[in-house]
Amino acid sequence: MAARYIMALDQGTTSSRAIVFDRRGRIHGSAQHPFRQIYPQPGWVEHDPREIASSQLGVMVEAMVSSSVSPDEIDSIGITNQRETTVMWNKKTGEPICNAIVWQCRRTAPLVDELCADPQVAAMVRAKTGLVPDAYFSASKIRWILDNVEGARALAEAGQLAFGTVDSWLIWCLTNGAVHATDVTNASRTMLFDIHKGCWDEELLDLFGVPASVLPEVRPSSADFGVTAYPGLPAGIPIRGVAGDQQAALFGQCCFSAGRAKNTYGTGCFLLMHTGDCAVESSHGLVTTIAASAPGTRGIEYALEGSVFVAGALIQWLRDELGIIGSAAESEALAATVDDTAGVYVVPAFTGLGAPYWDAQARGAIFGLTRGATRAHVARAALESLAFQVADVARTMEQDAGMAIDQLNVDGGASANDLLMQFQADILNAQINRPQVTESTALGAAFLAGLNTGFWSDLEEIRAMRERDEHFLPAMDASVREGRMAGWHDAVRRVLSA
Ligand code: ADP
């Protein structure tokens, strides 16, 4: 039987999902399973690697069975994953030697501060990796495990210890230990990888005390990662696409060339802009990262990445703490009952402000209240604050890259909000494109796999799937836009700590 589908495995921070895509990029079947979040101490976050693997392999089978797809109808597998999370296992037994340290875990913050205290060292790390030294990335997590897990160092010295981000761990499990590899996008989040040369870097390995023997082999994102061979599971399905979640989403959003950008409106926002073969160094604290490339691409392609800490979380706050809406979707209907915010601005600096302000001490505020302000004005101002924050990050990227964002491809829960999307188009003065299938992350992994096997012939075939995008065109007068941006910046200035 001819293969008709691609299986995307989307291993996220709180759940594992599997989606079966058809040739037109539509969802044919899916399954999802949450797994345990382990908090051994305040600020520490762990996952059990066996639960990651069992939930992921479980939903893969469930998605096939529930949508009546047989293994021989699956052309190939694409994997996308929570980034930076660190797994270490015994190469001989395949057993993890400890829990995975999750990207959010802060336990190695003092270690990073100590190792990168010298500004020259911090600058070296930044120049080679494109990252701002931080405990998020895998390097210090590996070091912590080597220093604190009994027997880890001895195993490493014997060449029997494997490190991997979650993609590597899943590839190892799926291939039954035949392949220990990762892709360039995941490697670029370890803080051990030279993003310019495209290889593990000795100076960084020395700095973090990581032996080269633990490292996976690095391959392009659309490449051969072996075939499934886990006992009891369908065997022989090729794994041909691998990318970290945000880079997979950029690819799934068809941002294949310089200047193309996507934003995900989830709990927070993740904005990525493709910068072609140029690794743009940000002067505003954004990170430079490797983008996933189609097969046959010469050299490495890059992206600038920025985030907004509080986006959909603000809408949850309106619902759960203020109680002015019953559901996130209701924010749109409520906001639409008024023509404007009547001068109200909400600055959701619940946990400080990120790019371009970088003020960890700033706290949130609502400004411009008059006796006539209603919950509808507050809801509208809250939605607008998502768009203002995205515009701030987008303008910062444009400056850093010297490229204009004239279109933005969107996904994530809050991208369903038409009022927000129209305001985003207006305030950014850019066309917003919302695809029919907003599962961009899984779709990106599927595209990478399907392009590698020839299931899809080229990028043109993939782009053509977006014919039914919904578009929001900017319709705001320039002077109004500038006035609104100035009002927002005035509000932001007033919450800054210094
Ligand atoms: P995550 O992947 O971060 O969990 P999702 O992409 O599932 O996030 O999006 C959920 C977020 O989007 C929630 O924070 C929710 O408040 C917000 N959200 C969902 N629907 C809407 C809507 N119609 N309008 C505004 N915000 C919404």
119/365 Cα distance (integer angstroms): 34
Q: What is the pLDDT of residue 351?
A: 86
What is the DSSP annotation of 331-360? HHHHHTTSSS-TT-EEE--BTBB-TTT-BT
CA 380 to each of CA 220, 265, 319: distance values in angstroms, whole numbers, following the listed order: 44, 16, 13
Angle between helices 418-428 and 375-401 (to 10 degrees): 40
Percent of the chain with pLDDT over 90: 95
> pLDDT band at residue 424, thresholds of 50, 70 and 90?
very high
Percent of the chain with pLDDT over 70: 100
What is the DSSP annotation of 408-446? EEEESGGGG-HHHHHHHHHHHTSEEEE-S---HHHHHHH
**Ligand 1, closest atom to CA 412?**
6
Closest-CA residue to 443 (of 22, 16, 93): 22
Distance 412 CA to ligand 1 centre (A): 7
Distance 252 CA to ligand 1 centre (A): 19
Give nearest CA residue, ligand 1 atom 8: 266
CB-ligand 1 contact for 329 (6 Å cutoff): yes
* pLDDT tens profile 109-141: 999 999 999 999 999 999 999 999 999 999 999
Q: What is the pLDDT of residue 84?
A: 94
Of 262, 267, 320, the one to substitute when testing ligand 1's pocket (max ligand atoms within 8 A of C-beta) is: 267
> pLDDT band at residue 3, thresholds of 50, 70 and 90?
confident
**Ligand 1, closest atom to CA 332?**
24
pTM higher than 0.75, yes or no?
yes
Distance 110 CA to ligand 1 centre (A): 33
Distance 477 CA to ligand 1 centre (A): 29
Q: What is the pLDDT of residue 278?
A: 95
* Region 422-433 average pLDDT: 98
442/250 Cα distance (integer angstroms): 11
Q: What is the pLDDT of residue 493?
A: 97
Q: What is the pLDDT of residue 438?
A: 86
**Where does 82-158 show beta strands of DSSP type E?**
87-90, 100-101
Closest-CA residue to 253 (of 418, 409, 81): 409
CB-ligand 1 contact for 401 (6 Å cutoff): no
Q: What is the pLDDT of residue 2?
A: 75
**Where does 98-251 show beta strands of DSSP type E?**
100-101, 161-164, 181-183, 193-194, 199-200, 217-219, 239-244
* pLDDT tens profile 270-298: 999 999 999 999 999 999 999 999 999 99
* Region 375-391 average pLDDT: 98
Helix (H, G, I), strand (E, B) or coil at 455: coil
Closest-CA residue to 397 (of 430, 433, 359, 350): 430
Distance 274 CA to ligand 1 centre (A): 24
Give nearest CA residue, ligand 1 atom 1: 266
